[in-house]
Structure 1
Amino acid sequence: MTAVAIQLARLVRVSHTIFSVPFALAAAAVAWVDHPLSWPQALLILGCLTTARTAAMAYNRVSDAALDAKNPRTQSREIPKGAVSMKAAWALTITSGLGFLAFAVALSPLCGALSLVALPLALGYSKAKRFTWLCHFWLGLVLALAPIGAWVAITGSFDAFPLVLGAGVVCWIGGFDITYGLADLEFDRKEGLHSFPVRWGPQVTIATSRVLHVLAPLLFLAAGLVAGRGMAYVAGVVACAIALLAGQIATARGAKGDAVLTANGWAALLFGVAAVVDVFVVGGGI
């Protein structure tokens, strides 16, 4: 891998795919029960996930470049420090966005049509904090599109399972992204940016995060019940809830910024693995 490719991978934080891919895999596995998936479909879905996320992250870095250069926490990011040029970041955004649209059209006409809604939503998140403190939940909605999109790509329709699972993702992402925002509270206030912590303050932010991280695993469980999944799936929900609890404990002890990401990454990974195991290894049902 060339030095440029390494810097671009760092720009879009490839490691952060842990926050979307496990839920897409969970939805795909459950959909597979009644709709066997071909390898071409699987590769196209993977292509959609990869390109959509890359386009959204690259545009986020382009959109926030000036702010990142001012913020002490983000001054070491690739664009502010000169490791990646704005031209390269724009090129990555555009090519990834076009790639996403192409993969979606190749999957089905329905996926192609929905991609015209999904891509603006994913890119629009980067501007949301300029005008609304609900930006964290916008991000949650964008990531919820991963399991919903995977389901639609495989089944050709919407169903209760991906929608309830997606609602859980919105609560989960919103719950940890509002605490992530605590790290930039003073900077956001100074720059006139909108965030949940700026609007409501640290105490309400932490309390709201706790409520959302109770709701998230409950919604994951409800999705499993709707789909008739087995005990391995339930075990994954329990493991996810424990990881979220660990994240809340870390936050209560003062963890901020990137420090809150680890537990939430484990929450997604444990749930996703358990959901796939439930379908392909255990094959059980509730």
Structure 2
Amino acid sequence: MFWGFELEFKQSLRTKKLWVILGVMMLLYVPGFYLQKSSGREIETVGEAISALINSINGLGAFFIGILAILIGATAINSEIEKGTLRVAMSKPIKRLGYIGGKFLAHTVVLLLALLLTTVIGIIGVAWLGAPITGKLVTDSLLLNGLLLLAMIQLVALGYIISTTVKSSSTALGVALVIMFVVFMIMPAIVQFMAAKDTLLTENPDFEAYQEKVKDYQTKYLFYVPTTQIDVILSDATVVRGDIGRPEIEYLGIGHAIRENPVNLGILLGLTLVYLGITFYRFLRMDLR
């Protein structure tokens, strides 16, 4: 397994997809923080700092790293079959399970490094905006990273299923992008419309009921979208009290949000294990010629 990990880790760090997407992310982050600074916005509390990190990292960061994750997975196996490198690897004293396990572990570490990089940039940004750097900020940033890593691992595993099903790596990339577009953009919009139809597009629109309905529908109908499950979990990191005109926002923490949503966390973990099980089963039985 270590041989497969070392080989794939080095290859992943050299891939252009990784550095291009990370470069685009940095270009989006830096101007965003600069515009906030120019507008005179200051961040004074840990809650405001974490909210800013959630909006940036779980928004742009999750989207671009999500694309990176599924594209890495979608070409993990079929591209090596096309180049003939997989047959060379299998000629060494290494079992299929050890090879695929090492490859998957390497991809996980690469994604972790990408998430840590975006988090460091985010923390530097909120510190520049005046946020206090405390243990709570670091702890909640790590918890946020952990949730995002679970989502990215699930997307890599989904990409592996594509890679062991679609023989052509170029076709697999197209399939992965279509899945990203349909599953991660169109379906969430449909679910939000369903929630709005049941609560807002009525004679007595109720915004609080709409928010609860969105959360319920996202859990039921978007269980296969890991970033949406993270959104559901993080929605309980803060609580809004008081009148609509003068709301009081209290930050409860990401740890509290995780404890309040064990079902969504279980969906993240469970579906990832299902995808990995399918991947390992297909790889152990597939023709590698």
Fold shared, TM-score > 0.5 on shorter chain? no
Please give the TM-score of this superposition, normalised by the length of structure 2.
0.33
Structure with higher Rg: it is 2
